[in-house]
Amino acid sequence: MTKEERIKKRYNAEKRFKLYGITSVVLAILFVVFLIYVIFSKGSSAFQKTIINVEINFTLDSLYLDPNPSKDDLENVEYYDLAIESLLKVYQVNGLKEEKALINLFSPDYEYEVRDFLIKNPEFINKKTILKLTASDDMDQLHKGNYPRHLPEDRRRINDFQLMMYDKLVEQNKIDKIFNNYLFQKGDSRNPELAGIGGALVGSFFTIIITLLLSFPIAIFASIYLEEFAPKNRITDFIEININNLAAVPSIVFGLLGLGILLGTFDLPRSTPLVAGITLALMTLPRIIIPCRASLKAVPPSIREGALAIGASKVQSVMHHIVPLAIPGTLSGTIIGLAQALGETAPLILIGMVAFVVDIPSIPTDPSASLPVQVYLWSEQAERGFVEKTSATIMILLSFLITLNFIAVYLRQKFERKW
Amino acid sequence: MISNNVKIKAQDLNVYYGKKQALFNVNLDIHSKEVTALIGPSGCGKSTFIRCINRMNDVIDICKIEGSIKIDDKEIIDNNIDVVRLRESIGMVFQKPNPFPKSIYDNISYGPSIHGLADNKSDMDQIVENSLKKAALWEEVKDRLDEPGTGLSGGQQQRLCIARAISVNPEVILMDEPCSALDPIATAKIEELIDELKKSYTIVIVTHSMSQAVRVSQRTGFFHLGKIIEVDTTEKIFKNPGNQMTQDYITGRFG
């Protein structure tokens, strides 16, 4: 081979290598774009809900109320008759069967929606108003264009009569789409149109706070001690190996630990953010210790020596000089560890967070759902409405994770100092 | 001008890194208020020796020191002495300038603040100014004390480190090849500074440059393979060494 040939070969190898690199990057971007496209196209409709405009006349008679009712009176009376009466006025129907078909266009909560409106706006007593009542899941999907109305009637849950009513209501502009406040305000429900991630959001929030409060200080002290103070001997080597092993342990094993020890031995309340937070803290500990130790190790020894030589004690040299330089790496490691914990599903399933919890937890020892488990729960539901809810929850979870990662990058850049 | 006042006295000093012995029965006297240069080929134990004087070798787990070093007749190779107090009275300047990643002011004020040498801000300002003046850096940095010390040039950084070392009023300053990372102009400035500093401090300098040893020191010790081969006045070592190995080393025949 001549010199020219060798040079040419070298250049070609370089070009090929660059090409492989660019191909990999493009492929990775395509996968991400595809993932985001699928989730957004399925999930974005969940941020709107279909409503049907119903005229309601809040007469005292229809509510069986005395004149000048108090707030308690308003809360305690029956709204069922008024609600049904008003619903039936939406469309002219004959016979019980048709009445039932009409009522089924609405979510089963119509009675409470009417009640909640009046309690919030008592000035509407003896007045008429138009309420936007939530439509049933099937109506919602039909209006969003996700419903297979071309199928034969016996293979649909909406019958032909209901379809006809729907088309008429659309003609009369009585059906509309508005922002889905239930998605954020409500807990889980068997009815997709009434299900929300409020409980899961609060549950995940409590969980992640407990995880942070437990794992961060323990991890920081453990890493500073191991890196700066502990003698280097077999015991510390053994601890180091085991920390690395723990970081690689499948998360479901931590779930088993939580199940066996926290629920079994210590008898802590099942399905609660408290137990979830402790379990995830155990899982997150090694994942924070490792980047924290790495960033402590990355501080140049000359800084350490400079501090010691001027007469700083060991603790002073660590706290005044080494730890401040290790903050950016430590913080971003912590946030990424927390982001992983936030998206963790398997251990939470084992400690009972898959339970069907309707109420939004108010303290960390209330039974609760969490975002990733909510995704898992809804993904196996049969109703069409849960498909978009699942994707919407993934969107919200992803946006939290992306926000956390951005904070990590920001903190790293903000605290990074040159030396 | 040769003083006869012994400040640091090392006797039968043996140092081991694990199984490897780095110093063999070193006996060396360092005299007060003069510059002692330690020369010798790389790995001969010069740095190990000066790191024994302020116990910086304690940082290395596997390092073991036997023998005796007395400073003003006080034994320092002793587990009961307080190394923090010891290092307060023995400053050290390293091979590579290592200012803290903080402002110039904070670099100097750190030592005095942890040792409680200043009662208030104006005391501290005074200490910072004096230290920088003694290190011949004041004129260059007085208008930018709040800028990072790491933004200075290499020579300035090294003078900053010297100022940091003298800010706590040490008696001894150890210098481990302080000019090896600097250009000749910066080196000349540091050497001038060392000449000035020896009036108030006892200085031990490790150097690879024969000419530097001649220029700055009054006494020179020659190390080879962990042993001290010859110690004498610099004049005698370089003009008329008593040992053939010293002769060979300073004339560049080995090392």
Mean pLDDT calculated for residue range A226-252: 91
Residue B29, classed as helix, strand or coil, is strand
Output the pLDDT for position B186.
Answer: 86
> Has residue A154 got a pLDDT over 70?
yes
B40: left (phi over 0), alpha (psi -120 to 50) or beta: left
pLDDT tens string for chain B (255 positions)?
455 688 999 999 999 998 999 999 999 999 999 999 999 988 888 999 999 999 988 888 888 899 999 998 889 988 888 888 899 899 999 999 999 999 999 999 999 999 988 889 999 999 999 999 988 899 999 899 999 998 899 889 999 999 999 999 899 999 999 988 888 888 998 999 999 899 999 999 999 888 999 999 999 999 999 999 999 999 999 998 888 889 888 888 765
List of domains in chain B? 6-97+171-250 (3.40.50.300)
Q: How many residues does chain A have?
A: 419
CA distance linking residue B93 with residue A105, whole number of Å? 84
A306–B61 CB contact, under 8 Å: no
| Partner residues linked to B220 by β-bridges | B37, B232
Beta strands (DSSP E) in A169-305 are 175-179
Considering only alpha carbons, which residue of chain B is nearest residue A231? B61
Residue B26, classed as helix, strand or coil, is strand
CA atoms in the 13 A half-sphere facing the CB of B29: 11
pLDDT bin (cut points 50, 70, 90) of residue A419 is very low
Please name the residues between 223 and 242 in chain A that touch chain B, using a CB distance below 8 Å.
231-232
Considering only alpha carbons, which residue of chain A is nearest residue B95? A302
A1 touches chain B (CB under 8 A): no
CA distance linking residue A52 with residue A169, whole number of Å? 8
CA dihedral B101→B106→B111→B115, nearest 10 degrees, is -130
- Residues from B contacting A (CB-CB < 8 Å) are 54, 56, 59, 61, 84-85, 87-88, 91-92, 94, 96, 98-101, 110-111, 114-115, 148, 150, 161, 164-165, 167-168
The pTM assigned to this predicted structure is 0.84
> Has residue A89 got a pLDDT over 90?
no
Instruction: Report the residue of B64, B92, B164 to disrupt the A interface, i.e. the one with the largest count of A CBs within 10 Å.
Output: B92
Mean pLDDT of chain B: 90
Considering only alpha carbons, which residue of chain B is nearest residue A417? B101
> Has residue A155 got a pLDDT over 90?
no
Mean pLDDT calculated for residue range A156-183: 90
Q: How far is B170 from chain A (nearest CA, A)?
A: 9
CA distance linking residue B219 with residue A280, whole number of Å? 65
- The residues, ordered by sequence, that sit 6+ positions from B170 with a Cβ below 8 Å of its Cβ are B88, B89, B90, B91, B201
B94–A232 CB contact, under 8 Å: no
| Partner residues linked to B227 by β-bridges | B224
Do A125 and A362 contact (CB within 8 A), yes or no?
A: no
Q: Spell out which residues of chain A touch residue B85, defining contact as CB-CB under 8 Å.
A: 311
The per-residue DSSP string of B163-231 comes to: HHHHTT--SEEEEESTTTTS-HHHHHHHHHHHHHHTTTSEEEEE-S-HHHHHHH-SEEEEEETTEEEEE
B18: left (phi over 0), alpha (psi -120 to 50) or beta: left
Q: Which residue has the tokens 């962990």?
A: B226
Closest CB to A321: pick one of B54, B100, B168. Answer: B100
ipTM rounded to 2 decimals: 0.89
Q: Spell out which residues of chain B touch residue A418, defining contact as CB-CB under 8 Å.
A: 101, 148, 150
